Chain A
């Protein structure tokens, strides 16, 4: 029962953090950059803060690392869908046009989330 509870907790955490990181990362993608109400630096700060909040919620560095990887996967899917759906007429025939944005977004989600988690763990006294 405790294992199931833990699984649900981590699952919800990954889902919430992944969607938040992916949506924040989409704000700095080449497609949306000029349309976003906030500058790209704020988008990166939001991803970093998402990592930080995950760092406060995970238990241990190992769980943090695993969560960071899963957040990157969920975040990348969110980012891809956000750009894909907005450009469906173009991307349905040429999805490679958005791959550069998705690749860069995935990298930034991974590293910023990781940094955020480490800072969160350090502040948690680990």
Chain B
């Protein structure tokens, strides 16, 4: 009777251990895949910035429109853009042309999507831009240096990451002449 009991316990123990071994390895594999997908997404996650419009809207005001294009072929982890703020500089980084932000937003990100950005340049920053345009005989290039705060939804919670965003763009000469 005792031998039967021991045998039953041993079978139960062996089955339980085999099940636990399988389960833990499957869970670890799923976890590592999710982790690798996240790291891969983070490495490739970047915004490409393109100026779409530059328009003078007043005597000391100009409006700039950009498209921030998410350059990820496939987004394996659900992600939301919460905030994008940026600074404008002259191409060499010497002249600072102001700080701009989208403020708090909640944009559901998908692969290869475009997000419109807008900034109004005025006052002393506009004057600095004017000086830059007058000093340069050819096209004036500006530097867009920003940070995107992106929320990633993971299986056991949420993670916020700051993604650096850099772009160099030129002001169209016909618009620059109007300033």
Contacts and interface: CB of A to CB of B under 8 A. Distances in A.
Interface of A: 13, 16-17, 19-21, 23-24, 26-27, 31-39, 46, 49-50, 52-57, 82, 86, 120, 123-125
Nearest to A31: B35
Question: What 10 A-B pairs are tightest by C-beta distance, nearest first?
Answer: A56-B13, A23-B24, A53-B16, A53-B17, A57-B13, A35-B34, A23-B28, A20-B21, A24-B24, A35-B35
A57 B14 contact: yes
Given A19-B25, A35-B156, A82-B32, A50 B17 contact: yes
B9 A34 contact: no
Contact of A34 (B18, B23, B30, B154): B154
Given A16-B18, A31-B35, A53-B13, A36 B24 contact: no
Nearest to A33: B156
A24 B20 contact: yes
Contact of B10 (A16, A49, A52, A57): A57
B112 interface: no
Interface string B1-41: 00001100110111011101101110110111011101000
Contact of B27 (A33, A36, A53): A36
A35 B25 CA distance: 15
28 contacts: A16-B17, A17-B21, A19-B21, A19-B25, A20-B20, A23-B24, A23-B28, A27-B24, A27-B31, A31-B35, A32-B31, A35-B34, A36-B156, A37-B30, A37-B31, A37-B155, A39-B156, A46-B20, A46-B24, A53-B14, A53-B16, A53-B20, A54-B17, A56-B9, A57-B10, A82-B32, A86-B32, A86-B35
B151 to A, nearest CB: 13
A126 to B, nearest CB: 11
B81 to A, nearest CB: 20
Interface in B64-109: none
Nearest to B152: A34
Given A17-B17, A46-B23, A52-B16, A124 B28 contact: no
Contacts of A32: 31-32, 35
